Chains A and B, each alone.
Chain A
Amino acid sequence: MKNGIEIRWHGRGGQGAKTAALLLADVAFKTGQNVQGFPEYGPERMGAPITAFNRISTDKIRVHSNIYHPDYVVVVDETLLESVDVTAGLKEEGAIIVNTPKAKEEILPHLKGYQGRVFTVDARKISMNTLGKNFPNSPMLAATVAVSKVMPRESFIKEMRASYEHKFAKKPEVIDGNMKALELAFDVVEKDAQG
């Protein structure tokens, strides 16, 4: 794979980082790309650090190893910043996106001198406001698409609605909340990028 992007997700078991990676593969597939989304499991328990990966490309994807030089890193749980070297191998021209209520300046000291772009998204707050529960993965997924520009906002929103309508066929009441969470996270990143 010569073209395309590689993303590494850091989360804790049960938070949906793997689901987010698989969802991203799903929507990217629907926009006509070659995709790969896969988890790396450590100990099988809730709360253990887990990693998930995405490759998205116009080329055929053949490599079946983890990603060591990602274009983007997504941190779904900020407590991992203390124990996991999240910026390891992260490309300087890429970016890191952290789920945190804190300001960027407070996060920087944990990023080991990373020189690339840093985005913070309060995914918990967005999720609580839109869904009444803490499901940080939907806002983080939207933020990742917004930062990486792996597909246009409109296509992403359209495909995610279709995906939620399928996934929550029996719970249609949660669809609007999820869509709202995606839009809000997108807004946060776009506003941040404008500076």
Chain B
Amino acid sequence: MAIKDRMSGNEAVAYAIRQVNPDVMPAFPITPSTEIPQMVSTYIANGEMDTEFIPVESEHSSMSATIGAEAAGARSLTATSSAGLALMWEELLLASSNRLPLVLTLVNRTLSGPININCDHSDGMGARDTGWIQIYAENNQEAYDNFIQAYPIAEDKRVHLPVMICQDGFITSHAVENIELLEDEKVKEFVGEYEPEEFLLNPGNPIAVGPYSISNYAMEAKKNQEIAMENSKEVIIEVAEKYRELSGRGFSLFEEYRTEDADYIMLIMGSAAGTAKQAVDDLREQGKKVGVLKLRVFRPFPAKEIAEALKNCKAVAIMDRCESYNGNGGPLGGEVTSALFRFKVMIEAVNYIYGLAGRDFTVSDVCGIFEELEDMIVNGTEIEQFQYIRLR
């Protein structure tokens, strides 16, 4: 029986952390993720979980300590946002290259500057080439569900990579919404005990973690990391299926919403996907054939699957909540169009930048974008292939 409750996204993730009860959580506070370590430390103080909580002096240290704990053989995690993630940059790469299956719960917030506390995906996107698996949530429910799936993905022998569980700052993290929770024992059974094969605090089997690697070997290490990322796709799908059996919820790599016969599809990630789905329902009532592809897994990037899902539509709006400053589009814009080209899906693809630093994104914005796509296809109107939404 699902437990019906109402929670903010931060509360939901803290609740999931309590249920999983990992071994070690080093953390340093930063808005809007601060509540997560705050709530976890309250659970610990109340005796509801026995995770070792380590208050540290910076995010550089929180990720370093998380890596140290995980290498020692302890199931570990931390939480952060924005500049906190940026300060972890070097360590993010160490976590993935040392193949440590730790978890980071990221509450997405824009990177400076201008300094701003609100949501966009520039922090997560900045870490897109650090070798981490990245899974994004539409709402508090998905943030909760995704966190529970994080360790089974990370710790799978085919993967052994760190996982970043992302949710939108304030929009999801601070919004109280309905949620269905699983019982503690079901979560514990699903996640299981962590039994690392090799770890530092194992005197019978000494290993080195993070030693110098000469050029004769380093390239192979990197290739193995890439293979692990490729492998993770099937593991993510398997874990999602298992979780769906348990909870009745969830999607694998992405959610396809009313896309079967859609002429126009919006590809979007995070909380704005819900807004897009509402717009799709409204437009469907007017007879418009529109749909939403909500990307859940950004790393590994499901290029082939996305191309396959888009092949029958006439045009896709690729929505980036992040600027790349490359003069050519956002991260999703670049990767989705590259996927379309590689798999020979020659549809129109327009890249929109929206919602930077908390700029709102509404149902009518979505409707306007679908209208523009239709105008381009039906009337042959030329539209800018890379443009901003709601720019003042």
| B363 with A65: CB separation less than 8 A | yes
Give the number of A-B contacts (CB < 8 Å): 63
**Nearest Cβ on chain A to B30's Cβ, whole angstroms:** 13
| A66 with B174: CB separation less than 8 A | no
| A63 interface residue (CB < 8 Å to B) | yes
A26 to B177, CA, bound (A): 9
Cβ proximity bits A46-75 to B, threshold 8 Å, 1 near / 0 not: 000000000000000111111010000000
| A66 with B360: CB separation less than 8 A | yes
Partner of A29, one of B139, B171, B178, B277: B178
- B354-375, CB < 8 A from A: 360-363
Cβ proximity bits B100-125 to A, threshold 8 Å, 1 near / 0 not: 00000000000000000110000000
| B172 with A64: CB separation less than 8 A | yes
| B6 interface residue (CB < 8 Å to A) | yes
Q: Which residues of B contact A64 (CB under 8 A)?
A: 139, 168, 171-172, 175, 271-272, 274-275
| A44 interface residue (CB < 8 Å to B) | yes
Partner of A65, one of B31, B118, B170, B361: B361
| B278 with A41: CB separation less than 8 A | no
Q: Which residues of A contact B72 (CB under 8 A)?
A: none
Q: Which residues of A contact B171 (CB under 8 A)?
A: 38, 64
| B176 interface residue (CB < 8 Å to A) | yes
| A38 with B170: CB separation less than 8 A | yes
- Please give the number of chain A residues whose Cβ is less than 8 angstroms from any Cβ of chain B in the complex: 21
Nearest B residue to A24 via CB reads: B176
Nearest B residue to A68 via CB reads: B362
Residue among B117, B118, B278, B361 with the highest chain A CB neighbour number at 10 A: B278
| B177 with A35: CB separation less than 8 A | yes
A36 to B171, CA, bound (A): 11
A38 to B11, CA, bound (A): 13
Given known contacts A34-B178, A38-B174, A41-B170, is B275 in contact with A62 (CB within 8 Å)? yes
| A1 interface residue (CB < 8 Å to B) | yes
Q: Which residues of B contact A65 (CB under 8 A)?
A: 275, 360-363
A65 to B174, CA, bound (A): 13
| A22 interface residue (CB < 8 Å to B) | yes
| A36 with B362: CB separation less than 8 A | no
| B360 with A62: CB separation less than 8 A | no
Q: Which residues of B contact A22 (CB under 8 A)?
A: 176
Nearest B residue to A21 via CB reads: B176
Cβ proximity bits A1-26 to B, threshold 8 Å, 1 near / 0 not: 10000000000000000000010011
**Nearest Cβ on chain B to A7's Cβ, whole angstroms:** 13
Given known contacts A26-B6, A41-B117, A44-B117, is B177 in contact with A63 (CB within 8 Å)? no
Partner of A38, one of B176, B272, B275: B176
Residue among A25, A61, A62 with the highest chain B CB neighbour number at 10 A: A62
Residue among A34, A65, A68 with the highest chain B CB neighbour number at 10 A: A65
A62 to B81, CA, bound (A): 24
| A94 interface residue (CB < 8 Å to B) | no
| B278 with A62: CB separation less than 8 A | yes
Nearest A residue to B279 via CB reads: A63
| A38 with B175: CB separation less than 8 A | yes
Q: Which residues of B contact A61 (CB under 8 A)?
A: 177-178
| A37 interface residue (CB < 8 Å to B) | yes
**Nearest Cβ on chain B to A146's Cβ, whole angstroms:** 22
Residue among B118, B168, B172, B274 with the highest chain A CB neighbour number at 10 A: B274
Enumerate 8 A-B pairs (CB-CB under 8 Å) in ascending A order: A26-B176, A37-B176, A41-B117, A44-B117, A64-B272, A64-B274, A64-B275, A65-B363
Q: Which residues of B contact A (CB under 8 A)?
A: 5-6, 31, 117-118, 139, 168, 170-172, 174-178, 271-272, 274-275, 277-278, 360-363
Q: Which residues of A contact B (CB under 8 A)?
A: 1, 22, 25-26, 29, 34-41, 44, 61-66, 68
